[in-house]
Protein backbone atom coordinates (compact mmCIF):
# COMPACT_ATOMS: atom_id res chain seq x y z
CA UNK A 1 0.00 0.00 0.00
CA UNK A 2 1.23 3.50 -0.79
CA UNK A 3 2.95 5.06 2.19
CA UNK A 4 0.49 6.37 4.75
CA UNK A 5 -2.80 5.46 3.08
CA UNK A 6 -3.75 3.04 5.86
CA UNK A 7 -3.28 5.73 8.50
CA UNK A 8 -4.94 8.59 6.63
CA UNK A 9 -8.39 9.83 7.50
CA UNK A 10 -11.26 9.15 5.11
CA UNK A 11 -11.51 12.89 4.43
CA UNK A 12 -7.82 13.15 3.58
CA UNK A 13 -8.11 10.22 1.18
CA UNK A 14 -11.14 11.88 -0.40
CA UNK A 15 -9.20 15.09 -0.87
CA UNK A 16 -6.39 13.14 -2.53
CA UNK A 17 -8.88 11.62 -4.94
CA UNK A 18 -10.27 15.08 -5.67
CA UNK A 19 -6.85 16.51 -6.54
CA UNK A 20 -5.96 13.51 -8.68
CA UNK A 21 -3.14 12.39 -6.39
CA UNK A 22 -4.97 9.17 -5.44
CA UNK A 23 -6.66 6.81 -7.88
CA UNK A 24 -9.76 5.18 -6.29
CA UNK A 25 -9.08 1.84 -7.98
CA UNK A 26 -5.48 1.73 -6.80
CA UNK A 27 -6.61 2.78 -3.34
CA UNK A 28 -9.28 0.08 -3.17
CA UNK A 29 -6.90 -2.58 -4.49
CA UNK A 30 -4.42 -1.56 -1.80
CA UNK A 31 -7.01 -1.93 0.97
CA UNK A 32 -8.21 -5.28 -0.41
CA UNK A 33 -4.61 -6.53 -0.58
CA UNK A 34 -4.02 -5.36 2.99
CA UNK A 35 -7.14 -7.23 4.14
CA UNK A 36 -6.17 -10.44 2.34
CA UNK A 37 -2.62 -10.38 3.66
CA UNK A 38 -3.38 -9.40 7.25
CA UNK A 39 -2.84 -11.92 10.03
CA UNK A 40 -6.17 -10.96 11.61
CA UNK A 41 -8.17 -10.85 8.38
CA UNK A 42 -10.61 -13.59 9.37
CA UNK A 43 -11.06 -12.18 12.87
CA UNK A 44 -11.94 -8.70 11.61
CA UNK A 45 -13.84 -9.31 8.36
CA UNK A 46 -16.68 -11.81 8.22
CA UNK A 47 -16.41 -11.53 4.44
CA UNK A 48 -14.95 -9.05 1.99
CA UNK A 49 -16.74 -7.84 -1.14
CA UNK A 50 -13.83 -7.41 -3.53
CA UNK A 51 -15.77 -7.57 -6.80
CA UNK A 52 -18.28 -4.99 -5.64
CA UNK A 53 -15.55 -2.76 -4.23
CA UNK A 54 -13.56 -2.69 -7.46
CA UNK A 55 -16.67 -2.00 -9.52
CA UNK A 56 -17.59 0.92 -7.27
CA UNK A 57 -14.00 2.19 -7.28
CA UNK A 58 -13.91 2.10 -11.09
CA UNK A 59 -17.07 4.21 -11.23
CA UNK A 60 -15.54 6.63 -8.71
CA UNK A 61 -12.40 6.93 -10.83
CA UNK A 62 -14.51 7.74 -13.89
CA UNK A 63 -16.37 10.44 -11.97
CA UNK A 64 -13.14 11.91 -10.61
CA UNK A 65 -11.68 12.13 -14.13
CA UNK A 66 -14.87 13.70 -15.45
CA UNK A 67 -15.08 16.22 -12.62
CA UNK A 68 -18.43 14.85 -11.42
CA UNK A 69 -17.55 13.53 -7.97
CA UNK A 70 -20.61 13.03 -5.77
CA UNK A 71 -19.11 14.28 -2.54
CA UNK A 72 -15.96 14.58 -0.45
CA UNK A 73 -15.74 10.82 0.21
CA UNK A 74 -16.46 9.64 -3.35
CA UNK A 75 -14.09 6.71 -3.96
CA UNK A 76 -13.11 6.12 -0.31
CA UNK A 77 -13.25 2.45 0.82
CA UNK A 78 -15.00 1.67 4.11
CA UNK A 79 -16.29 -1.37 6.02
CA UNK A 80 -19.80 -2.24 7.22
CA UNK A 81 -20.85 -4.08 10.37
CA UNK A 82 -22.43 -7.42 9.54
CA UNK A 83 -25.96 -6.32 10.43
CA UNK A 84 -26.37 -3.99 7.45
CA UNK A 85 -28.13 -5.82 4.65
CA UNK A 86 -25.91 -6.12 1.60
CA UNK A 87 -27.46 -7.37 -1.63
CA UNK A 88 -26.41 -10.94 -2.47
CA UNK A 89 -23.90 -11.01 0.37
CA UNK A 90 -24.41 -12.97 3.57
CA UNK A 91 -25.55 -10.77 6.45
CA UNK A 92 -25.66 -12.85 9.65
CA UNK A 93 -25.29 -10.30 12.48
CA UNK A 94 -22.61 -12.41 14.13
CA UNK A 95 -25.11 -15.14 14.97
CA UNK A 96 -25.51 -18.81 14.12
CA UNK A 97 -29.25 -18.11 14.33
CA UNK A 98 -28.97 -16.19 11.06
CA UNK A 99 -26.47 -18.46 9.32
CA UNK A 100 -26.98 -18.38 5.55
CA UNK A 101 -29.14 -15.23 5.62
CA UNK A 102 -28.82 -13.60 2.18
CA UNK A 103 -30.53 -10.22 1.63
CA UNK A 104 -31.63 -9.23 -1.86
CA UNK A 105 -31.01 -5.50 -1.46
CA UNK A 106 -28.82 -3.10 0.49
CA UNK A 107 -29.86 -1.40 3.71
CA UNK A 108 -31.05 2.16 3.05
CA UNK A 109 -27.96 3.72 4.67
CA UNK A 110 -25.72 1.56 2.49
CA UNK A 111 -27.72 2.58 -0.58
CA UNK A 112 -27.24 6.23 0.39
CA UNK A 113 -23.52 5.78 1.00
CA UNK A 114 -23.11 4.02 -2.35
CA UNK A 115 -24.89 6.88 -4.11
CA UNK A 116 -22.46 9.24 -2.38
CA UNK A 117 -19.60 7.25 -3.96
CA UNK A 118 -18.31 5.30 -0.95
CA UNK A 119 -16.75 1.93 -1.72
CA UNK A 120 -17.93 -1.14 0.23
CA UNK A 121 -14.94 -3.30 1.26
CA UNK A 122 -16.97 -5.92 3.14
CA UNK A 123 -18.73 -6.94 6.33
CA UNK A 124 -17.07 -6.92 9.75
CA UNK A 125 -17.50 -9.24 12.72
CA UNK A 126 -19.64 -8.23 15.68
CA UNK A 127 -21.15 -9.46 18.93
CA UNK A 128 -24.08 -11.88 18.43
CA UNK A 129 -27.12 -9.82 17.43
CA UNK A 130 -25.30 -6.74 18.80
CA UNK A 131 -26.12 -7.45 22.47
CA UNK A 132 -22.85 -6.87 24.36
CA UNK A 133 -20.38 -4.03 24.82
CA UNK A 134 -17.28 -6.22 25.17
CA UNK A 135 -16.95 -7.47 21.60
CA UNK A 136 -16.45 -11.16 22.34
CA UNK A 137 -17.97 -13.68 19.97
CA UNK A 138 -16.76 -17.28 20.28
CA UNK A 139 -19.48 -18.36 17.82
CA UNK A 140 -18.04 -16.51 14.81
CA UNK A 141 -14.90 -14.53 15.70
CA UNK A 142 -13.54 -12.06 18.24
CA UNK A 143 -11.45 -9.29 16.65
CA UNK A 144 -8.20 -8.24 18.33
CA UNK A 145 -7.77 -4.93 20.11
CA UNK A 146 -5.26 -2.55 18.53
CA UNK A 147 -3.74 -1.94 21.98
CA UNK A 148 -2.99 -5.61 22.61
CA UNK A 149 -4.19 -8.93 21.21
CA UNK A 150 -5.10 -10.21 24.69
CA UNK A 151 -7.60 -7.40 25.26
CA UNK A 152 -11.31 -7.32 24.44
CA UNK A 153 -11.99 -5.14 21.37
CA UNK A 154 -15.22 -3.54 22.58
CA UNK A 155 -18.56 -4.17 20.99
CA UNK A 156 -20.83 -4.77 19.55
CA UNK A 157 -19.22 -3.00 16.55
CA UNK A 158 -15.92 -4.77 17.24
CA UNK A 159 -14.86 -5.48 13.66
CA UNK A 160 -15.94 -2.03 12.49
CA UNK A 161 -13.49 -0.48 14.95
CA UNK A 162 -10.61 -2.84 14.36
CA UNK A 163 -10.93 -2.66 10.58
CA UNK A 164 -10.04 1.03 10.93
CA UNK A 165 -7.55 0.71 13.77
CA UNK A 166 -5.52 -1.93 11.91
CA UNK A 167 -5.62 0.03 8.65
CA UNK A 168 -7.99 -2.32 6.79
CA UNK A 169 -10.62 0.35 6.04
CA UNK A 170 -10.63 4.13 5.93
CA UNK A 171 -13.69 4.10 8.23
CA UNK A 172 -16.24 1.63 9.54
CA UNK A 173 -20.00 1.86 9.95
CA UNK A 174 -21.52 0.36 13.09
CA UNK A 175 -24.64 0.51 15.22
CA UNK A 176 -25.15 1.79 18.76
CA UNK A 177 -27.97 0.63 21.03
CA UNK A 178 -26.26 1.14 24.39
CA UNK A 179 -22.69 2.03 23.43
CA UNK A 180 -21.84 -0.29 20.53
CA UNK A 181 -20.14 2.42 18.45
CA UNK A 182 -18.54 4.37 21.28
CA UNK A 183 -17.03 1.53 23.34
CA UNK A 184 -15.07 -0.11 20.49
CA UNK A 185 -14.09 3.34 19.18
CA UNK A 186 -12.72 4.36 22.58
CA UNK A 187 -10.99 1.06 23.24
CA UNK A 188 -9.28 1.22 19.81
CA UNK A 189 -8.28 4.92 19.92
CA UNK A 190 -10.85 6.16 17.39
CA UNK A 191 -13.61 8.73 16.96
CA UNK A 192 -17.13 7.31 17.23
CA UNK A 193 -20.47 9.05 16.68
CA UNK A 194 -23.75 7.86 18.15
CA UNK A 195 -26.54 9.54 16.23
CA UNK A 196 -29.98 10.49 17.50
CA UNK A 197 -32.49 7.65 17.23
CA UNK A 198 -34.51 8.09 14.05
CA UNK A 199 -32.02 10.38 12.30
CA UNK A 200 -30.81 7.62 9.96
CA UNK A 201 -32.99 4.92 8.43
CA UNK A 202 -32.93 1.49 10.08
CA UNK A 203 -34.56 -0.16 7.05
CA UNK A 204 -32.43 -3.17 6.15
CA UNK A 205 -30.59 -3.19 9.48
CA UNK A 206 -30.89 -6.32 11.64
CA UNK A 207 -32.70 -5.00 14.75
CA UNK A 208 -31.94 -5.37 18.45
CA UNK A 209 -34.02 -2.80 20.34
CA UNK A 210 -35.96 -0.63 17.91
CA UNK A 211 -36.45 2.30 20.31
CA UNK A 212 -32.71 2.53 21.02
CA UNK A 213 -31.00 1.29 17.84
CA UNK A 214 -28.92 3.92 16.04
CA UNK A 215 -26.28 3.98 13.29
CA UNK A 216 -22.93 5.71 13.43
CA UNK A 217 -19.39 5.88 12.03
CA UNK A 218 -16.11 4.80 13.62
CA UNK A 219 -13.26 6.77 12.10
CA UNK A 220 -10.05 8.75 12.55
CA UNK A 221 -11.40 12.30 12.86
CA UNK A 222 -14.49 14.31 13.71
CA UNK A 223 -14.45 15.64 10.16
CA UNK A 224 -14.71 12.05 8.91
CA UNK A 225 -17.72 11.48 11.16
CA UNK A 226 -19.46 14.57 9.78
CA UNK A 227 -18.98 13.53 6.15
CA UNK A 228 -19.93 9.90 6.80
CA UNK A 229 -23.13 10.97 8.55
CA UNK A 230 -24.08 13.10 5.55
CA UNK A 231 -23.25 10.29 3.12
CA UNK A 232 -25.57 7.87 4.93
CA UNK A 233 -28.54 10.20 4.61
CA UNK A 234 -28.00 12.52 7.55
CA UNK A 235 -27.79 16.30 7.49
CA UNK A 236 -25.19 18.09 5.42
CA UNK A 237 -21.80 18.25 7.14
CA UNK A 238 -21.55 21.50 9.10
CA UNK A 239 -18.83 24.09 8.66
CA UNK A 240 -16.02 22.83 10.88
CA UNK A 241 -13.57 25.68 10.26
CA UNK A 242 -12.05 27.75 13.09
CA UNK A 243 -12.98 25.53 16.03
CA UNK A 244 -12.87 27.14 19.46
CA UNK A 245 -13.66 26.10 23.01
CA UNK A 246 -13.48 29.66 24.32
CA UNK A 247 -16.65 30.44 26.21
CA UNK A 248 -18.26 27.05 25.68
CA UNK A 249 -20.20 25.73 28.67
CA UNK A 250 -19.51 22.08 29.41
CA UNK A 251 -21.11 20.03 32.18
CA UNK A 252 -19.53 17.01 33.84
CA UNK A 253 -22.21 14.54 34.86
CA UNK A 254 -21.38 13.66 38.46
CA UNK A 255 -22.39 10.66 40.59
CA UNK A 256 -23.62 7.83 38.35
CA UNK A 257 -21.36 8.94 35.50
CA UNK A 258 -18.15 8.87 37.54
CA UNK A 259 -18.83 6.62 40.53
CA UNK A 260 -17.92 3.41 38.71
CA UNK A 261 -14.90 4.79 36.86
CA UNK A 262 -11.64 3.04 37.55
CA UNK A 263 -8.48 5.05 38.24
CA UNK A 264 -6.97 5.12 34.72
CA UNK A 265 -10.04 6.35 32.81
CA UNK A 266 -10.87 8.82 35.57
CA UNK A 267 -7.37 10.29 35.63
CA UNK A 268 -7.33 10.50 31.84
CA UNK A 269 -10.70 12.28 31.92
CA UNK A 270 -9.46 14.89 34.37
CA UNK A 271 -6.44 15.63 32.17
CA UNK A 272 -8.75 16.16 29.19
CA UNK A 273 -10.90 18.56 31.22
CA UNK A 274 -7.81 20.57 32.13
CA UNK A 275 -6.93 20.89 28.45
CA UNK A 276 -10.43 22.12 27.63
CA UNK A 277 -10.27 24.69 30.43
CA UNK A 278 -6.90 25.85 29.15
CA UNK A 279 -8.61 26.62 25.84
CA UNK A 280 -11.28 28.72 27.51
CA UNK A 281 -14.06 26.21 28.21
CA UNK A 282 -16.21 26.80 31.30
CA UNK A 283 -16.71 23.48 33.07
CA UNK A 284 -19.39 22.84 35.70
CA UNK A 285 -19.85 19.73 37.84
CA UNK A 286 -23.50 18.77 37.55
CA UNK A 287 -25.16 16.03 39.61
CA UNK A 288 -28.47 14.81 38.16
CA UNK A 289 -29.95 12.31 40.64
CA UNK A 290 -32.67 11.25 38.21
CA UNK A 291 -30.03 9.61 36.01
CA UNK A 292 -29.39 7.10 38.79
CA UNK A 293 -33.05 6.12 38.65
CA UNK A 294 -32.88 5.91 34.85
CA UNK A 295 -30.05 3.40 35.16
CA UNK A 296 -32.05 1.34 37.64
CA UNK A 297 -34.98 0.90 35.25
CA UNK A 298 -32.91 0.70 32.05
CA UNK A 299 -32.43 -3.06 32.17
CA UNK A 300 -36.13 -3.71 31.77
CA UNK A 301 -36.40 -1.47 28.70
CA UNK A 302 -33.44 -2.98 26.87
CA UNK A 303 -34.00 -6.67 27.61
CA UNK A 304 -37.77 -6.62 27.01
CA UNK A 305 -37.30 -5.12 23.55
CA UNK A 306 -34.44 -7.48 22.73
CA UNK A 307 -36.34 -10.55 23.91
CA UNK A 308 -39.53 -9.51 22.12
CA UNK A 309 -37.47 -9.29 18.92
CA UNK A 310 -35.45 -12.50 19.25
CA UNK A 311 -36.96 -14.65 22.03
CA UNK A 312 -38.87 -17.09 19.83
CA UNK A 313 -35.89 -17.56 17.53
CA UNK A 314 -33.56 -18.20 20.46
CA UNK A 315 -35.99 -20.63 22.13
CA UNK A 316 -36.36 -22.58 18.89
CA UNK A 317 -32.58 -22.95 18.59
CA UNK A 318 -31.16 -23.63 22.06
CA UNK A 319 -27.42 -24.04 22.57
CA UNK A 320 -26.49 -21.96 19.52
CA UNK A 321 -25.47 -18.78 21.37
CA UNK A 322 -22.64 -17.81 23.69
CA UNK A 323 -24.30 -18.30 27.08
CA UNK A 324 -23.71 -14.85 28.68
CA UNK A 325 -25.24 -13.15 25.64
CA UNK A 326 -28.12 -15.62 25.54
CA UNK A 327 -28.87 -14.97 29.20
CA UNK A 328 -29.04 -11.24 28.54
CA UNK A 329 -31.81 -11.87 26.02
CA UNK A 330 -33.64 -14.32 28.26
CA UNK A 331 -33.76 -11.77 31.08
CA UNK A 332 -36.55 -10.10 29.13
CA UNK A 333 -38.94 -12.91 30.04
CA UNK A 334 -39.30 -11.86 33.68
CA UNK A 335 -40.93 -8.48 33.08
CA UNK A 336 -44.66 -7.94 32.62
CA UNK A 337 -46.13 -5.70 29.96
CA UNK A 338 -47.50 -3.42 32.67
CA UNK A 339 -44.05 -3.00 34.22
CA UNK A 340 -42.49 -2.26 30.82
CA UNK A 341 -45.07 0.45 30.02
CA UNK A 342 -44.75 2.02 33.46
CA UNK A 343 -40.99 2.19 33.20
CA UNK A 344 -41.12 3.78 29.77
CA UNK A 345 -43.49 6.40 31.16
CA UNK A 346 -41.04 7.09 33.99
CA UNK A 347 -38.11 7.23 31.56
CA UNK A 348 -39.87 9.90 29.51
CA UNK A 349 -40.31 11.99 32.66
CA UNK A 350 -36.61 11.61 33.46
CA UNK A 351 -35.73 12.67 29.91
CA UNK A 352 -37.75 15.85 30.35
CA UNK A 353 -36.01 16.60 33.67
CA UNK A 354 -32.58 15.97 32.14
CA UNK A 355 -33.34 18.22 29.17
CA UNK A 356 -34.34 21.09 31.45
CA UNK A 357 -31.24 20.77 33.64
CA UNK A 358 -28.71 20.71 30.77
CA UNK A 359 -30.40 23.28 28.54
CA UNK A 360 -27.75 25.93 29.21
CA UNK A 361 -24.77 23.73 28.32
CA UNK A 362 -23.12 23.05 24.98
CA UNK A 363 -22.47 19.41 25.93
CA UNK A 364 -22.32 17.04 28.87
CA UNK A 365 -19.03 15.19 29.36
CA UNK A 366 -18.08 11.76 30.73
CA UNK A 367 -15.32 9.20 30.27
CA UNK A 368 -16.43 7.13 27.29
CA UNK A 369 -16.01 3.94 29.30
CA UNK A 370 -15.56 3.51 33.03
CA UNK A 371 -12.99 0.76 32.42
CA UNK A 372 -10.08 -0.05 30.17
CA UNK A 373 -10.40 -3.06 27.83
CA UNK A 374 -10.46 -6.21 29.99
CA UNK A 375 -8.62 -9.47 29.34
CA UNK A 376 -10.33 -11.50 26.63
CA UNK A 377 -9.51 -14.95 27.98
CA UNK A 378 -10.75 -14.20 31.47
CA UNK A 379 -14.01 -12.93 30.00
CA UNK A 380 -14.40 -16.12 27.98
CA UNK A 381 -13.69 -18.37 30.95
CA UNK A 382 -15.63 -16.57 33.67
CA UNK A 383 -19.28 -15.83 32.87
CA UNK A 384 -19.85 -13.79 36.02
CA UNK A 385 -16.83 -11.61 35.21
CA UNK A 386 -18.18 -11.15 31.68
CA UNK A 387 -21.56 -9.99 32.98
CA UNK A 388 -20.07 -7.59 35.54
CA UNK A 389 -17.53 -6.05 33.14
CA UNK A 390 -20.11 -5.68 30.39
CA UNK A 391 -22.43 -3.66 32.64
CA UNK A 392 -19.62 -1.38 33.83
CA UNK A 393 -18.27 -0.94 30.29
CA UNK A 394 -21.67 0.30 29.11
CA UNK A 395 -22.47 2.34 32.23
CA UNK A 396 -21.65 5.73 30.74
CA UNK A 397 -22.51 5.23 27.10
CA UNK A 398 -26.06 4.01 27.65
CA UNK A 399 -26.97 7.28 29.37
CA UNK A 400 -27.07 8.90 25.94
CA UNK A 401 -29.30 6.12 24.58
CA UNK A 402 -31.66 6.35 27.56
CA UNK A 403 -31.93 10.15 27.27
CA UNK A 404 -32.34 10.05 23.47
CA UNK A 405 -29.19 12.07 22.79
CA UNK A 406 -26.47 12.20 20.19
CA UNK A 407 -22.96 11.54 21.51
CA UNK A 408 -19.36 11.66 20.33
CA UNK A 409 -16.31 9.84 21.70
CA UNK A 410 -12.80 11.15 21.05
CA UNK A 411 -9.46 9.40 21.68
CA UNK A 412 -7.12 10.78 24.32
CA UNK A 413 -3.45 10.32 25.17
CA UNK A 414 -4.15 7.11 27.06
CA UNK A 415 -4.60 4.07 24.78
CA UNK A 416 -8.02 2.51 25.24
CA UNK A 417 -9.51 5.61 26.87
CA UNK A 418 -11.89 8.14 25.39
CA UNK A 419 -13.82 11.23 26.38
CA UNK A 420 -17.49 11.44 25.48
CA UNK A 421 -19.53 14.56 24.75
CA UNK A 422 -23.32 14.21 24.78
CA UNK A 423 -25.43 16.69 22.82
CA UNK A 424 -29.10 17.44 22.48
CA UNK A 425 -31.38 15.22 20.37
CA UNK A 426 -30.82 16.02 16.67
CA UNK A 427 -27.95 18.28 17.73
CA UNK A 428 -25.34 16.49 15.63
CA UNK A 429 -24.17 19.60 13.76
CA UNK A 430 -23.51 21.54 16.95
CA UNK A 431 -21.88 18.52 18.60
CA UNK A 432 -19.58 17.92 15.64
CA UNK A 433 -18.43 21.54 15.63
CA UNK A 434 -17.70 21.28 19.33
CA UNK A 435 -15.99 17.94 18.71
CA UNK A 436 -13.50 19.53 16.31
CA UNK A 437 -12.53 22.06 18.97
CA UNK A 438 -12.19 19.33 21.60
CA UNK A 439 -10.16 17.23 19.17
CA UNK A 440 -7.75 20.14 18.65
CA UNK A 441 -7.39 20.65 22.41
CA UNK A 442 -6.62 16.99 22.94
Contacts of residue 12, defined as CB under 8 A and 6 or more positions apart, other chains included, come to none
- Helix, strand and coil in the chain, % to nearest 5: 45, 15, 40
Q: What is the spatial distance between Cα 30 and Cα 23, in angstroms, rounded to a whole number?
A: 11
Omega of the bond leading into 156 within 30 degrees of 0 (cis): yes
Strands (E) across 239-340 are located at: 249-253, 282-286
Q: Which of 9, 48, 79, 81 is catalytic?
A: 81
* Cα–Cα distance for residue pair 11/301, rounded to 1 Å: 38
Asked about 156 being catalytic, the answer comes back as yes
Interstrand relation of 406-411 and 191-194 (parallel, antiparallel or unpaired): antiparallel
Cα–Cα distance, 84 to 177 (Å, whole number): 14
Continuous segment of H or E residues that includes residue 191: strand 191-194
Which residue among 9, 79, 132, 156 is the active-site one? 156
- Maximum C-alpha span of the chain: 61
Q: Judge contact between 432 and 225, C-beta under 8 A.
A: yes
Closest residue by Cα to residue 278 from 257, 242, 250, 240: 250
Give the Cα separation of 137 and 155 in Å (integer).
Answer: 10
Please give the Cα distance from 177 to 175 (Å, whole number). Answer: 7
Active site residue 99: no
Catalytic residue list contains 244 = no
Strand order in the sheet with 418-423: 45-48, 119-124, 77-81, 172-176, 214-219, 191-194, 406-411, 418-423, 363-367, 249-253, 282-286
Q: What is the DSSP letter of 328?
A: H
Residue 372's CB: how many other CB atoms inside 10 A?
Answer: 20
Of 195, 201, 225, give the one whose Cα is nearest residue 73.
225
Query: So which residues are the catalytic ones?
Result: 81, 156, 180
Amino acid sequence: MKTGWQQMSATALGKGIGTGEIDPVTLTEAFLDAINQHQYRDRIYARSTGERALSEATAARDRARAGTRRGPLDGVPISWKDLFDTANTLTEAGSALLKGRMPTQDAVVLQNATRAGLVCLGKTHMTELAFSGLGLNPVTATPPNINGPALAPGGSSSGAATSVAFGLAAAGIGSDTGGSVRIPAAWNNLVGLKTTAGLLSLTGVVPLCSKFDTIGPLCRSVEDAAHLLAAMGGPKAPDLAKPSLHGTRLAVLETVGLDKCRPEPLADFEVALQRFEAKGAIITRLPIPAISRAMEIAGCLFVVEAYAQWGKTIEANPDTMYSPVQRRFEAGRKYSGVEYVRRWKEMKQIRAEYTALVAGYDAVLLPSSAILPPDRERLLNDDEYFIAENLVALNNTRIANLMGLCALTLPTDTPGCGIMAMGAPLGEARLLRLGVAMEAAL
